[in-house]
Structure 1
Amino acid sequence: MTASSFPGGTSLSHLDVYTDAAPDGICGGSPHMHLVSTEAYVVISGEGALQTIDGDGFRETPLSAGAVVWFTPGTIHRAVNRGDLRVVVLMSNAGLPEAGDAVMTFPAEIVAAPDAYAAAASLGAEDGRAERASARRDLAVTGFETLRDAVVAGDRAALDAFRAAAGALVRDRAEAWGDLVRERPLAQAEQSLALAEAVASGSVTHLAGARVHQALPSVGERGFGMCGRLRTYDVTDEETDR
């Protein structure tokens, strides 16, 4: 992985939350959860909400310009767009979400079957991606509603089963996740510790290596993410020096 000094070993993207409605009439993204990474929203415009299912049950957090909210691994989340909701997304463990650290809340029988899950999650070729993104969102909302209704009724069995199935689904790919964590966030933390110790010992020679970096946004049409249309940013040092 190319080195990056971007703070915290995080990744950065600009998200325009989907504006089309799911079968329940709510506009927004595909409910899903991350198994290792923490995600943060910095709302830059519009109105909406974050619907979540976590250890405290189901809740809805209002979102408007200036709001900052983050959610830890295991939090099932659904971005709801109630008017021009645009968000800057910070994701811990850069590269890990792209390596499969997310499972959508498809119905239980799909999450339990790797081939069926892969088919439901795939966006396929360029043509028709918008329609397929909506279709997988609608399928994830169906499963989300089942989990939400059970949790609200005081039954956590479906949620526990989803988490177990999600873990089984990504277990094999997770073998490589440790390397991603060590190469970015852990390496940055260790470097910061070394610099702090150097300053404490009276050395500031590292300051001679100070540089400014600028992220390069992805070009062309924004990609189809789970929650909306994404503009990603390349925060690697070598490719973004100015």
Structure 2
Amino acid sequence: MTASSFPGGTSLSHLDVYADAAADGVCGGSPHMHLVSTEAYVVISGRGALQSIDADGFRETSLAPGGVVWFTPGTIHRAVNHGDLQVVVLMSNAGLPEAGDAVMTFPADVVADAEAYAAAADLGDSDGRAERASRRRDLAVFGFETLRDAVLTGDRAQLEAFHRAAGARVRERAVEWGDLVRARPLAQAERSLELAEAVASGSVLHLADARVHEAVPSVGERGFGMCGRLRTYELSDEETGR
């Protein structure tokens, strides 16, 4: 992974939350969960909500311009669009979500079967991706409703089973995740500690290396993410430095 001084070793994207209705009549994205990374929404336009299932059960958090909400690993979340909802997404551990740190809430039998899960998650080539994204979202919503309804009755057994199945689904990929964490967030934290100690000792030599960097947005049509159409940003110092 190329070096990046972007704050916190995070990734950045611009998200237009899906505006079409799922099978339950609610407009929005595919419910899913991250196993290691924390995600944040900074709302820049529109109205909506974040439906979530976490240690406290099911809840719905309103989203409006200027609002900021973040959710830790294990939070099952669904972005709901009440009209023109757009958010800037900050994700910890840049590169980890792309490496598989996300599991959608497909029905239990799908999550338990590697081939079935891969087939349900696959969007294929450019032709028909919008339709396949909608089908993927609807299947995840079906599983989300099952988990939500169980939690609302006080039954957490299905949620705990989903946690175990999600862990099993990504376990092999997770072997490489430590390298990604060490390359970005851990390396940045260690560098910050070095600089703090240098200043405390009277050295400011690192200030001579100050630079401005500019993020480069992805080109072409926005990609199909789990929650909506995404514009990602390249945050590499090597490629974006002046």
The TM-score by the shorter chain falls in which range? over 0.9
Q: For residues 7-156 of structure 1, what are the structure 2 equivalents within 5 Å? A: 7-156=7-156
Secondary structure of residue in 2 paired with 1:202: coil
Secondary structure of residue in 2 paired with 1:176: helix
Where does residue 168 of structure 1 map in the other structure? 168
In 2, distance between residues paired with 1:94 and 1:149? 33
**1:215 aligned partner, one-letter code:** A
**1:55 aligned partner, one-letter code:** A
- 5+ residue gaps, structure 2, are none
The Cα shift of 1:211 comes to 0.1
Q: Which of structure 1's runs of 4+ aligned residues deviate more than 2 A? A: none
The Cα shift of 1:26 comes to 0.2
How big is each residue's C-alpha offset from its partner over 1:197-230, in whole Å with a ceiling of 9 and x where there is no partner? 0000000000000000000000000000000000
**2:151 aligned partner, one-letter code:** V
How big is each residue's C-alpha offset from its partner over 1:62-85, in whole Å with a ceiling of 9 and x where there is no partner? 000000000000000000000000
Where does residue 158 of structure 1 map in the other structure? 158
The Cα shift of 1:88 comes to 0.1
The Cα shift of 1:41 comes to 0.1
What's the TM-score, normalizing by structure 1?
1.00
In 2, distance between residues paired with 1:45 and 1:102? 26
How big is each residue's C-alpha offset from its partner over 1:157-183, in whole Å with a ceiling of 9 and x where there is no partner? 000000000000000000000000000
**Share of identical aligned residues, percent?**
82
How big is each residue's C-alpha offset from its partner over 1:133-186, in whole Å with a ceiling of 9 and x where there is no partner? 000000000000000000000000000000000000000000000000000000
**2:96 aligned partner, one-letter code:** L
The Cα shift of 1:241 comes to 1.4
The Cα shift of 1:38 comes to 0.1
